[in-house]
């Protein structure tokens, strides 16, 4: 094994070009587990800790450019206003020790359907900035996840940042697990209201081969909110509309039975989380309920 | 194999012949003779290996040794000195006031009064500085140590929380320690110990508090 220690982003890209099988390591919270348990023996480890810019973020007009290695702790503590859904999701990641090391770039690189950040990223809407010595490109999050633990990265590419839409309305995140810390999600649900475009976006975790949006549920809700004039009137959402939204979200799930839960439980729980998080965000939009920042 | 240079408990150290996939935990325990950080789950679940990396609590089993090159690590063996220096002058930036590796290896839990000898009658050559940190004393006073395996990680995590948040609520304590498992399930006494340390900190004269 070789340990590559690029001191800059350019050096990291050059190293990845020269050794496309090199495994990038930043927080190490996935990679080191695999090495400790002898599940993986990469020929090269590519340490990104010395590339300082990956730990930085910029808040722009429309988006936040979040460096791939910004730890979940910083997102939770410092980006709650701009990225409330992702901040809530970050708070559910493992433990303080893990949140101090892990970041969104690792979740995207691993592309596990259970990664906590995914539902929030899908709901907010974002683009993943990836780069190689051949050039830079931005992959829309809807095209990023390509299979179980597979993503759209080429072998010579590294994830540099994520450009996430700043919240223009309430966002929520819900995760089912056996305790409040140190759990891999049985399933998870993220929702973001986008009053500017009068749309609702969602994200489902751990209930399909990849993180997914509940698109049929979104389309139904968008039409129902539009037709009923809900965005203007800020009326309480009709219970039958919320119920139908929940059923469609549940139907979007394509889960399996595994050690953490059964497929039927996951389908059921996704529906419950969809209905609840819609209720929370809509109450917040109406200005009567809990804050956008929620509780975690 | 590679060489890694980093600061441990305030002193510059060097590890040779480090395997590229080796964890910081392994280097500390097997190469530096600092077995205070415990090796239990090796997957970041239990927190027994918690150390401060550039001041931040992390699971040392999930940090690749090569990633600590040029960085600063504090282990439970250096916690007493670390806490004392924090009290005296808000920390040690120079690296000249830390715990020597020799002292850290010979660390013994002794009453902070520093009375006659160590409980075991050994420990000759241990640093006269290395008494107990307030959080360590509180764990003893509250009876928060059972088998002791989770204790080092809890001490490092709790000490860091009290540094940032001197008057924690119970919810703050639970959250800060949520990454540390005690399989003796002695959590109530552990919470008591942290509350005790917080109360004592609160009562202490507020000089140079961070």
Tokens of A223: 């039409």
pLDDT of residue A162: 98
Judge whether B30 is closer than 8 Å to chain A, CB to CB: no
CA-to-CA distance for B166 and B87, rounded, in angstroms?
A: 13
For testing contact with chain B, the best of A41, A49, A96, A99 (most B CBs within 10 A): A96
- Say if B62 is an interface residue toward chain A (CB within 8 Å): yes
pLDDT tier at B129 (50, 70, 90 boundaries)?
A: low
- Please state the rounded mean pLDDT for residues B41-51: 97
* Cα–Cα dist B194/B171, whole Å: 12
Residue B206 confidence (pLDDT): 57
B190-195 mean pLDDT: 98
pLDDT of residue B209 exceeding 90, the answer is: no
Give the model's pLDDT for residue A240: 97
pLDDT at B146 over 60: yes
User: Is B19 within 8 Å of chain A by CB?
Assistant: yes
DSSP letter for each residue of A63-85: EEEEETT-BHHHHHHH-TTT-HH
* Predicted pLDDT of residue B101: 80
| CB-side neighbour CA atoms (13 Å) of A87 | 20
B185 — contact with chain A (CB < 8 Å)?
Answer: no
| Residue B105 vs residue B90, higher pLDDT | B105
Q: Supply the pLDDT for residue A273.
A: 98
Chain A closest-CA separation from residue B114 CA (Å): 33
Q: In whole angstroms, give the CA distance from residue A62 to residue A82.
A: 10
pLDDT at residue B39 greater than cutoff 90: yes
Give the model's pLDDT for residue A163: 98
- Residue B124 confidence (pLDDT): 38
H helix intervals, chain B: 24-26, 79-89, 101-105, 134-142, 151-164, 170-176, 187-203
Of A244, A272, A57, A70, the C-alpha closest to A166 is A57
Distance CA A126, CA A56 (A): 17
Q: Is the Cβ of A35 closer than 8 Å to some Cβ of chain B?
A: yes
What is the ipTM, given to two decimal places?
A: 0.94
A292: pLDDT strictly greater than 80: no
Share of chain B above pLDDT 90, in %: 73
Percent of chain B's residues with pLDDT above 70: 82
DSSP three-state, residue A124 = helix
Burial class (CB in 10 A: 0-12, 13-18, 19+), B60: buried
* Tens digit of each residue's pLDDT (9 = 90 or more) over A35-80: 999 999 999 999 999 999 999 999 999 999 999 999 999 999 999 9
Joined together, the tokens standing for residue A201 give 């976006």
Residues B64, A5: C-beta atoms closer than 8 Å: no
pLDDT at B94 over 90: no
| Per-residue pLDDT at A21 | 97
pLDDT band at A26 (very low <50, low <70, confident <90, very high): very high
- pLDDT tops 80 at residue A225: yes
Contact A96 B157 (CB under 8 A): yes
Q: How far is CA A108 from the centre of its chain?
A: 8
Residues A90-114 have a mean pLDDT of 97
Contact A47 B66 (CB under 8 A): yes
Judged by a CB distance cut-off of 8 A, whether residue A39 touches chain B is: no
Point out the residue among A3, A28, A47 whose CB comes nearest to the CB of B62.
Answer: A28
Average pLDDT over residues B7-19: 97
Q: Which long-range contacts (CB under 8 A, 24 or more apart) does B157-164 make?
A: B157/A96, B157/A97, B157/B47, B157/B50, B157/B57, B158/B193, B158/B194, B158/B197, B159/B79, B159/B82, B159/B83, B159/B133, B159/B135, B160/B52, B160/B55, B160/B57, B161/B194, B162/B135, B162/B194, B162/B197, B162/B198, B162/B201, B163/B86, B163/B210
What stretches of chain A show up as alpha helix (H) in DSSP? 9-18, 31-36, 72-78, 84-91, 96-99, 104-110, 117-124, 215-227, 230-233, 239-252, 263-286
Question: Quick check: B37 and B79 in contact, CB under 8 A?
Answer: no
Indicate whether A288 pLDDT > 90. no
User: Residues B46-53: what's their mean pLDDT?
Assistant: 98
With beta carbons under 8 A apart, name residues in chain B contacting A37: 42-43
At residue A274 the predicted structure's pLDDT band, cuts being 50, 70 and 90, is very high
Residue B109 is predicted with a pLDDT of 62
Is pLDDT larger for residue B142 or for residue A288?
A: B142
B65 pLDDT higher than 70:
yes
pLDDT of residue B157: 98
pLDDT for residue B112 is more than 80? no
Per-residue pLDDT, A30? 96
Residues of chain B with Cβ-Cβ distance to A41 below 8 Å are: 21
Q: Which whole number is the average pLDDT over B169-194?
A: 96
What pLDDT is attached to residue A144?
98
| pLDDT at site B202 | 82
Torsion region of A92: left, alpha or beta (phi above 0 gives left; psi -120 to 50 gives alpha) = alpha
The pLDDT of residue B92: 52
> Which residues in chain B touch residue A97, judged by CB atoms under 8 angstroms apart?
44, 47, 50, 57-59, 157, 179
**At what angle are helices B187-203 and B134-142 packed, to 10 degrees?**
130
Chain B: residue whose CA lies nearest to A32: B62
Which residues pair with residue A162 across a beta bridge? A66, A128
pLDDT at position B99, please? 75
B67 touching A (Cβ < 8 Å): yes
**Could you tell me if B179 lies within 8 Å of chain A, comparing CB atoms?**
yes
For chain A, give the percent of residues with pLDDT over 70: 97
What domains are defined for chain A? 2-165 (3.30.465.10), 171-286 (3.30.390.50)
Q: Do A98 and B176 touch (CB under 8 A)?
A: no
Q: Is there a contact between B62 and A95 if contact means CB atoms under 8 Å apart?
A: no
Distance between B83 CA and the closest CA of chain A, angstroms: 20
Per-residue pLDDT, averaged over B171-177, amounts to 97
Q: Is residue A223 predicted with pLDDT exceeding 90?
A: yes
Rounded Cα distance, A131 and A128, in Å: 10
Which range is least confidently modeled, A75-89, A105-119, B116-130? B116-130
């Amino acid at each position: 094994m070789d340990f590559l220690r690029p001191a800059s982003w350019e050096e990291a890209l050059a190293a990845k070009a020269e050794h496309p099988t090199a495994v990038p390591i930043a927080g190490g919270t996935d990679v080191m587990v695999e090495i400790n348990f002898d599940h993986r023996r990469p020929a090269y480890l590519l340490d990104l800790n010395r590339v300082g810019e990956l730990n930085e973020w910029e808040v722009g007009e429309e988006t936040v450019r979040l460096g791939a290695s910004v730890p979940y702790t910083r997102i939770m503590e410092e980006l709650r206003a701009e990225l409330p859904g992702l901040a809530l999701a970050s708070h559910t990641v493992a433990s303080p020790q893990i949140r101090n090391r892990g970041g969104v770039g690792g979740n995207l690189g691993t592309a596990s359907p259970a990664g906590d950040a995914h539902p929030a990223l899908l709901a907010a809407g974002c683009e993943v900035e990836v780069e190689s010595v051949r050039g830079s490109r931005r992959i829309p999050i809807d095209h990023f996840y390509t299979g179980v633990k597979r993503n759209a990265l080429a072998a010579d590419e590294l994830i540099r940042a994520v450009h996430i839409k700043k919240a223009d309305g309430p966002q929520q995140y819900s995760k089912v697990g056996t305790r409040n810390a140190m759990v891999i999600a049985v399933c998870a649900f993220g929702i973001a209201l986008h009053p500017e475009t009068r749309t609702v976006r969602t994200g489902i975790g751990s209930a399909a081969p990849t993180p997914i949006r509940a698109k049929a549920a979104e389309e139904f809700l968008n039409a129902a909110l539009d037709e009923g004039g809900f965005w203007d009137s800020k009326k309480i959402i009709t219970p039958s509309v919320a119920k139908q939204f929940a059923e469609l979200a549940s139907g979007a799930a394509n889960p399996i039975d595994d050690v953490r839960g059964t497929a039927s439980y996951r389908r059921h729980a996704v529906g419950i989380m969809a209905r609840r998080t819609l209720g929370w965000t809509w109450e917040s939009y109406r200005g009567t309920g809990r804050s956008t920042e929620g509780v975690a | 194999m590679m060489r890694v240079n980093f600061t441990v408990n305030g002193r510059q150290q060097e590890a040779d012949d480090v395997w590229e996939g080796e964890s910081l935990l392994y280097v500390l325990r097997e190469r530096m003779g600092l077995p205070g950080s415990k090796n239990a789950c090796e997957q970041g679940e239990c927190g027994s290996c918690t150390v401060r990396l550039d001041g931040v609590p992390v699971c040392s089993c999930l940090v690749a040794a090569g990633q600590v090159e040029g960085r600063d690590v504090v282990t439970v063996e250096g916690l007493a000195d670390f806490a004392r220096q924090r009290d005296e002058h808000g920390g040690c930036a120079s690296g000249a006031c830390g715990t020597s590796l020799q002292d850290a290896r010979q660390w013994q839990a002794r009453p902070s009064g520093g009375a006659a000898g160590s409980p075991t009658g050994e420990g000759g050559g241990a640093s006269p500085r290395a008494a107990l940190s307030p959080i360590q004393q509180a764990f003893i006073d509250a009876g928060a140590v059972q088998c002791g395996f989770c204790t080092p990680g809890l001490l490092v995590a709790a000490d860091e929380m009290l540094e940032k948040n001197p008057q924690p609520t119970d919810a703050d304590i639970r959250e800060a320690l949520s990454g540390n498992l005690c399989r003796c399930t002695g959590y109530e006494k552990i919470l008591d110990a942290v509350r005790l340390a917080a109360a004592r900190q609160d009562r202490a004269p507020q000089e140079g508090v961070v």
